[in-house]
Amino acid sequence: MSETSQTQATQEPSVLTVQDAYGVLLERFPGQVRMDERQGYEGVLIEADSLLDVASFMRDQLGIRYLSSVTGVDNLPNGQLESVYHAFAGLGPALVFKVQVDRDRPEVPSLVSVWPSADFQERESYDLLGIRYIGHPNLQRILTWEGFHGHPLRKDWHEPYYEEELKPFASRHPDGHVYRAEDRNPFGMNLQYPSDFDPHNWTDIAQAAVYQPLQRTALESRLETETMVINLGPQHPSTHGVLRVVMAVDGETVVDLMPVFGYLHRNHEKIGERCTFPQIMPYTDRLDYICSMSTNLAYALAVEKLTGIRPPERAEYIRVIMAELTRIVNHLLAIGFLWNDVGAFFTPVVYAFNERELILDLFEMAAGSRMMCNYVRVGGVFEDLPDGWMEKARRLVYDRLPRFVDEYERLVVQNEIWRARAIGVGVLPAERAIAVGATGPLLRGSGVPYDIRRVEPYSIYDRFDFDVAVRFNGDVYDRFMIRFDEMRQSLRILRQAMEQIPDGPVQTGKKNYTIKVPPGEAYHRIEAPKGELGFYLVSDGRPNPWRYHVRSTSLINLTSLAEMCRGHKIADVVVILGSIDITLGEVDR
């Protein structure tokens, strides 16, 4: 029963449109809330002092229960920092609200108490932009380390290899002369130190800061046993990359846990601000490197939303085909690596990689590259599908993959050990899943049938007949089984797309390294294989974005890790982490 009521509850607020919601807010909080009148911008501006009241009102009275994205923008010319929020109520577009604060005193109330999904995102915004979120339970740097100088995404902060604001740099073609960026730095590396830095008397505060919140838990524990703090990662075979998980354990039982990020922080957003809009595309490949096609698509759609460019019909179909193939690749690997974590060491992964190679062959045929496809363009795709591609893809989609999915499922699903390790482990109730901002299979495995392809259809997903996969127990087993369901639905979409695909051009306009983008902002999200992947772009009319932010699926899905793991054994942490399915490139960016 509880599952049914949950389903209804998530759909209930859709009666209110976003415009109505803005109207209600303006009426209820006069003087505190005003419309954002800047050209190309949407949403409301809220005074910092009343943010908490307005947010609670939105959650409790307007039914905005899902805060998707929190980020910041440095409005250097106005001397202001802006904290930007995108929230959703079931169906429909985002409710956008912003808080503008003075650059010298950037203090914004933290929304973690209203929407726990703000936790990591506020920390990120603090780390990179220096917006202090008052009342945040653990406001620490997240991607850089405690002690790092400055806030890198501020417009007046320059990296050691800084050359110019905008690419292509003049040094790109320096009349036949080649130089290395290292040669211009006194240390021969990309290093810079503040003038008051004394290397002899530096105390390393980075590690102490990481352990501090957990040691608090350890002290509060009333048990007579001793609580111990241990590390999992950053070099560990089960962390799927360089994630570090710090745990307070009591014997084998996890008392508290905190993921530590930043070991793969590659300054994606800072580099993005230096690139022109089309130049960012190859970097998006390297965000979620297992699903580069989906990430490409999300970014292209965001720029298209900003510019109003529409891709031709054939390109839309090609994009959908590629995105769904990517979803299959991702789910195959997610399942394989999850089994790996349970102890089925590498056999399922090898099975998964076998099929992945076949799909990657298709990508290589179309895009020229196996993994970093860089295939989708703003207003279309890079090239039309080569001869023979469709036949090859049809054989795979109609014949081989459906059989393989069944076989793969049979391989382990009935396995006694697997069921014992998965059923009832890491339960995330629907209510909590929404609160912590879980998306994708993680959310749908908890009984919330929320799929962006259905609730806010993008591209041409409204033309296809498919079911939103949902399972209700919210444990590792359901999160795992839902990936089989989704692969079957993807195959269904693929078959329809392959039948309907028309002939025609695949690119609007001509190819260029830069495009004209009007001033304004856009947030676009897609249902990436791992969940909601959003791109937030702010343009000031120049060829490069003023702000380029990725609403990372994996990072925000990890918010739920701590509460899923508490009370379980250390060995279960690995399984629960595997069931979330993260890619570190996207977590740390």
- Of 268 and 524, which has the nearer Cβ to another protein? 268
- In angstroms, the CA 23 to CA 34 distance is 10
CB atoms within 10 A of CB 501: 17
- Of 59 and 327, which has the nearer Cβ to another protein? 327
Q: Please state the φ and ψ torsions of residue 559, each to the nearest 5 degrees.
A: -55, -35
Give SS3 for 232.
Answer: strand
- Of 204 and 220, which has the nearer Cβ to another protein? 204
- Taking only Cα atoms into account, the Rg of the chain, rounded to an integer number of angstroms, comes to 24
Question: How far is residue 22 from each of residues 83, 89, 139, measured CA to CA in Å?
Answer: 18, 13, 30
- Of 59 and 240, which has the nearer Cβ to another protein? 240
Using CB under 8 A as the binding rule, whether residue 236 contacts another protein is answered as yes
Among residues 40, 93, 213, 234, which is the contact residue for another protein, using CB under 8 A?
234
- Chain residues 199-218 in contact with another protein, contact rule CB under 8 A: 199-200, 202, 204, 206
Shortest reach from residue 194's CB to another protein, in Å? 5
Using CB under 8 A as the binding rule, whether residue 115 contacts another protein is answered as no
Among residues 90, 241, 426, 474, which is the contact residue for another protein, using CB under 8 A?
241
The region that residue 147 occupies, defined by phi over 0 for left and psi between -120 and 50 for alpha, beta otherwise, is: left
Shortest reach from residue 283's CB to another protein, in Å? 7
In this structure, what token pair is assigned to residue 530? 């791992």
With CB under 8 A as the contact rule, which of the stretches 1-9, 247-255, 266-274, 486-494 interacts with another protein? Answer: 266-274
Among residues 195, 219, 391, 410, which is the contact residue for another protein, using CB under 8 A?
195
Using CB under 8 A as the binding rule, whether residue 164 contacts another protein is answered as no
Using CB under 8 A as the binding rule, whether residue 401 contacts another protein is answered as no
Using CB under 8 A as the binding rule, whether residue 353 contacts another protein is answered as yes
Among residues 59, 86, 265, 551, which is the contact residue for another protein, using CB under 8 A?
265
With CB under 8 A as the contact rule, which of the stretches 72-80, 262-270, 421-429, 449-457 interacts with another protein? Answer: 262-270
Using CB under 8 A as the binding rule, whether residue 286 contacts another protein is answered as yes
Query: Where does 472-567 have alpha helices with state H?
Result: 476-500, 553-557, 561-565
Among residues 170, 235, 308, 499, which is the contact residue for another protein, using CB under 8 A?
235
The answer to whether 63 and 16 are in contact (CB under 8 A) is: yes
Helix 313-342 vs helix 476-500: angle between axes, to the nearest 10 degrees?
Answer: 160
- Of 346 and 398, which has the nearer Cβ to another protein? 346
Shortest reach from residue 198's CB to another protein, in Å? 9
Using CB under 8 A as the binding rule, whether residue 338 contacts another protein is answered as no
- In angstroms, the CA 134 to CA 75 distance is 21
- Of 19 and 190, which has the nearer Cβ to another protein? 190
Among residues 103, 331, 356, 547, which is the contact residue for another protein, using CB under 8 A?
356
With CB under 8 A as the contact rule, which of the stretches 80-88, 129-137, 295-303, 347-355 interacts with another protein? Answer: 347-355
With CB under 8 A as the contact rule, which of the stretches 59-67, 349-357, 481-489, 528-536 interacts with another protein? Answer: 349-357
CB atoms within 10 A of CB 142: 24
Amino acid present at 11: Q
Among residues 92, 213, 282, 543, which is the contact residue for another protein, using CB under 8 A?
282
Residue showing tokens 């805060």: 67
Give SS3 for 101.
Answer: strand
- In angstroms, the CA 439 to CA 528 distance is 10
The 8 Å CB, 24+ separation contacts for 254-257 are 254/565, 254/566, 254/567, 254/568, 254/569, 254/570, 254/572, 254/573, 255/217, 255/218, 255/221, 255/227, 255/566, 256/214, 256/217, 256/562, 256/566, 257/214, 257/561, 257/562, 257/565, 257/566, 257/573
DSSP code, position 59: H
- In angstroms, the CA 331 to CA 581 distance is 9
Among residues 78, 137, 149, 419, which is the contact residue for another protein, using CB under 8 A?
149
Shortest reach from residue 326's CB to another protein, in Å? 13
Site residue total, another protein (CB under 8 A)? 63
- Of 91 and 206, which has the nearer Cβ to another protein? 206
- Of 261 and 523, which has the nearer Cβ to another protein? 261
Among residues 6, 83, 144, 307, which is the contact residue for another protein, using CB under 8 A?
144
- x/- track of binding to another protein for residues 168-187 (CB under 8 A): -------------xx---xx
Strands 520-528, 80-88: pairing kind: unpaired
Among residues 102, 135, 148, 420, which is the contact residue for another protein, using CB under 8 A?
148
Among residues 23, 135, 137, 237, which is the contact residue for another protein, using CB under 8 A?
237
DSSP string, 172-221: GS-TT----GGGGSTTSSS----TT--GGG----HHHHHHHHHHHHHHH-
The answer to whether 84 and 546 are in contact (CB under 8 A) is: no
Using CB under 8 A as the binding rule, whether residue 460 contacts another protein is answered as no
DSSP code, position 460: T
DSSP strands (E only) in 211-315: 228-232, 244-250, 253-260
Among residues 49, 102, 135, 197, which is the contact residue for another protein, using CB under 8 A?
197
- Chain residues that interact with another protein, rule: CB under 8 A: 143-145, 147-149, 152, 159-161, 163, 181-182, 186-195, 197, 199-200, 202, 204, 206, 234-237, 241-242, 262-268, 270-271, 274, 282-283, 286, 289-290, 346, 349-350, 353-354, 356-357, 370-372, 584-585, 588
